Amino acid sequence: MISDERLDSVAKMKTHPMALPPNHDECIEMAKELKAYRQAFSEPVAWRHNEGPFGKVATCSQKVGELWVSEGFDVTPLYRKPIIPE
């Protein structure tokens, strides 16, 4: 796996036509996108309880989400949408 530090260095590289391969701009964009996905999926922002008597219920409280999990309920962690820098 590519480290976050390596992704940072690739994402910050400047293009130089003599020293870099022709697809270097794509490599920079891929590094930025991968960093954004890793950050977005690093921790949940909400939890969905899939077995409630009223259907699926969600909470933004980490304590409640962890309580549901500890009690053995079917819980789905929900993550934010990645924000990919330009």
Query: What share of the chain in percent tops pLDDT 90?
Result: 42
Average pLDDT over residues 51-72: 90
Q: The whole model's pTM is what?
A: 0.64
Confidence at residue 15, expressed as pLDDT on a 0 to 100 scale: 60
In the chain, where the domains are located? 4-40, 46-78
DSSP per-residue string spanning 18-63: TTS-TTHHHHHHHHHHHHHHHHHTSS-SEEEESS-TTS-EEE--HH
